[in-house]
Amino acid sequence: MFEDPLFWLFVGPGLLLGLYAQARIKANVARYSQVPTPSGVTGAQVARALLDAQGLADVKIESTEGVLSDHYDPRDKVLRLSQKVYYTPSVAAAGIAAHETGHALQDAEDYFPMEARTYIVPIVQLASQIAPWAFVAGLMLQWNTLTWIGVVLFGASFFFALLTLPVEFNASARAKELLIRKRLIGPDQIEGVDKVLDAAAWTYVAAAVSAVGVWLFYIFMLLGRGRSASAARG
């Protein structure tokens, strides 16, 4: 598969975009982690202030291990921030904390794309496990229907990545608006928040491009085999 030029034609753009996105987010987080917030508030304090202001005092905030491991857990109603975000009074930490707070607000408002993404997670996980087995088994058994089932299941990852885009973009928009409205970030510092969150957004775009690239590769590979089989019979 890796020797097939068609594989790199479809998957390559997503991989390159992913490398670009990762380099960009690391550079912007490193840069704006050195820029302090106006009042010296940490990421955890930013998140707490925004949650309380929106009537979400029941949402807990916890520190978690890892780098850029920040996330909101809608099942437990917990906002988990990496230690560098939780304890750091920087523009980067404030932007990331506000972004995750945006997800908590989406959850509280039953924001449809987020609700849909949450519900399909088990389905996508199951489909991702079954897809390669169905695809390979279909090829080995020369059972075209089973092979196409595998291809369709591969598409679940693309659908999930596509559904993730509005969820993440909306959370970032909420974050920027809330930070300014609550005066936790000055107008002159919102540019730093923009760069950090925009760089993070590119990682989700890269994931979507990669997912559709992989999906298209399997579709074209299967179609190619079908044409080859038809030609052999002819």
Catalytic residue numbers read 100
Closest C-alpha to 23, from 206, 223, 210: 206
Q: Strand order in 71-73's β-sheet?
A: 60-64, 78-82, 71-73
Cα-Cα-Cα-Cα dihedral sign, residues 7, 8, 9, 10: positive
The span from the CA of 150 to the CA of 127, in Å, is 9
